[in-house]
Amino acid sequence: MFEDVKKVAGLYIRVSTEDQAREGFSLPEQEKRLRAMCEYKGYEIYDVYKDAGISAKTGNKRPEFERLLQDIKDKKCNTIVVLKLDRLTRSVYDWENMLKFLEENEAYLDCANDDINTTNANGKMISRILTSVSQQEIERTSERTKIGLAGAIKVGHIPHQAPLGYKRVDKTLVPDITKKDIVIRIFDMYHNGLSYKKISNILNEEKVLDKTNWRDSTIVGILQNEIYKGDFVHGKRTKHPTYYTDVVEPIISKELWEECQVQKQKNSRSYQRTLNYLFLQKLKCPKCGRILGGKATTKKNGNSYFYYYCNDCKLTIKESVIEKFISDFIDDIVDYDSVVNQFFLPMIKQKIDNPKEEIEEEIRKQKNKFKRIREAYVDEVFTLEEYDLERKKVENTLEELETKLYETEICDELKFTPEDILIKRDIDFINSIKYPEKYKEYNKRWKDFDRVEKANLIMGYIEDITLSEKSNGKCEVEYVKFRESIANTCNELYDKGFIDRTDYTIFGNMIGTLRYSEYRDEKEVWQHILRLREFYDVGFYQATYNVRNKIFNLRINENSQAIVRVFPMQDYRKIDPNLKMEEYDLGILYINKDDGTNLEDKEAVFKFIPDKADGIITREVRTTTNVKPANMLGLKEVVDDDEEITDEVISS
């Protein structure tokens, strides 16, 4: 009876992106062949339905195909005519639904290249087999594509447009030295409590990248992009995204990125950090391991009191308790931050982050770009307004690059050495004794910092703080872990004798602290003393030290003299690695408190360090506000309660 039904055909033609280049799959070619078939079979053509650039995957929206199905429901046509079955679908599931649809609407399917007959059981079975083959083909193709894509991503070939702060070099994403600082600044501003809106307003006001259309959504996209910490997520909007770690060079640290994600959970439009928590993201609950939240209460007198808590385990710890725990060594952190990180390392970092050759190459490219813009304007490709806009962009970029090149060249000229670190620390220590009031003008102690400065220091140096649970629902500090990059650098400098650290010792019936450094060659020690004597009359003598009891036998009048630093006269780490010797011979550097500087200009001792060659002061020290005024001896009477002394030693 099906043979007697007049066939009114709807010609359905489709090409997906990957089919465009295949012979015989173009839209005009499909339509030509289907019209010839309908003429041969005597079908009346109702309409042609064309879906261009759309694959037959499940879930894809094909508007023309949907229109064809609706026309069949409305009895405007009763036969679907296609070139091949896979033009309709490559999914077995979708084909079963299609068979059901054709049966319910008394409609048919005719394929030019596949012998498909949907009017009987055998024809339906054959159609199912062909559809299964098509589905397998597309799944295998998808698998091969995913494997190839995964391999490309792992070597830095990210299949997207290069995000702000990156550029492509040989198909690989690498940081763009002309724009990466913008990304770093955005993360820093957000981490410091600025909202998306505030950040975009700042960038618009400053016309960063000559743009005034920075939006909240742009800032959100940057902060959420894992690429900036070196990772990449493929298929982020799908149910099963794939995460790749360390595939490109990061612009920011993973810690900063994660901390910004935690803050992002709050309402950025209404949230502005008015209260800065010193140890936010550094504390975990000792019971469940979750990061502790921060709260603050403000009294009527205006003072705020901070504490951290675990909402699930009902454990809390006061911020003042943590700060008291680290009080014995926090000024040493400040001191190290000042001398090493804020003075010497920025110069080294400048060389690493901005290689001179790369900057020079980028300058050359920008100058060539400027030349092309000028030629385009001469050839009337640009209007004067367009030319001025493009010229300004290049000029701004060139100005930034020239500045970075200048800074790098300065670093090449500066010949700072590890010895200079120890010289700077000793001079700072002596300055704090000789000129305490002037020293305070140049430097601050931990107690002098505001909360933002304290939080930044903790964020930069401390990895996390381990807590232990007390019986009353409170917590106490058990261990402070510093960042490996900081701890390793500091320990390496100490092991080589280029940096000192403070330790407790006993002087008869007195207990106090001394600045110790490790063994250095005798010639290096005398060179160090000679350099210090360009500024101050530094004295030297030897003393004995009881290793086990930490008792110092020395000749010093604490009222008129101060010990600058103590160091071993021999390399006892090699001579006595198991600490079997009872006494060590130590060298003592000291000063007379009442003596002034040997220089005519007292300000020079705060701004310069003596040169190694002939004592000429040639090395200027950048002024900083983050240097610890070291405690001269920190002496106090030994109390009878041994437990108190032990607690002090442990807390250091």
Residues with catalytic roles: 16
Q: Give the distance, in angstroms, between the CA of residue 324 and the centroid of all CA atoms in the same chain.
A: 30
- Which residue is associated with the tokens 């008291």? 324
DSSP structural state of residue 612: S
Residue 326 CA to residue 328 CA, distance in Å, equals: 6
Residue 556 CA to residue 564 CA, distance in Å, equals: 12
| DSSP line for 406-431 | HHHHHHHH----HHHHHHHHHHHHHH
**How many other CB atoms are there within 10 angstroms of residue 579's CB atom?**
10
Half-sphere exposure of 621 (CA within 13 A, CB side): 28
**How many other CB atoms are there within 10 angstroms of residue 150's CB atom?**
12
Quick one: tokens of 272? 């502005």
Residues 6+ apart with CB under 8 A from 537: 591, 592, 595, 598
CA angle 586, 587, 590 (to 5 degrees): 130
Closest CA to 589 of 648, 638, 644, 535: 535
DSSP structural state of residue 224: H
- Which residue is associated with the tokens 């650290």? 501
Q: What is residue 43's three-state secondary structure?
A: coil
Closest CA to 607 of 618, 616, 597, 620: 620
Are the beta carbons of 287 and 310 closer than 8 angstroms?
yes
Beta bridge partners of 296: 306
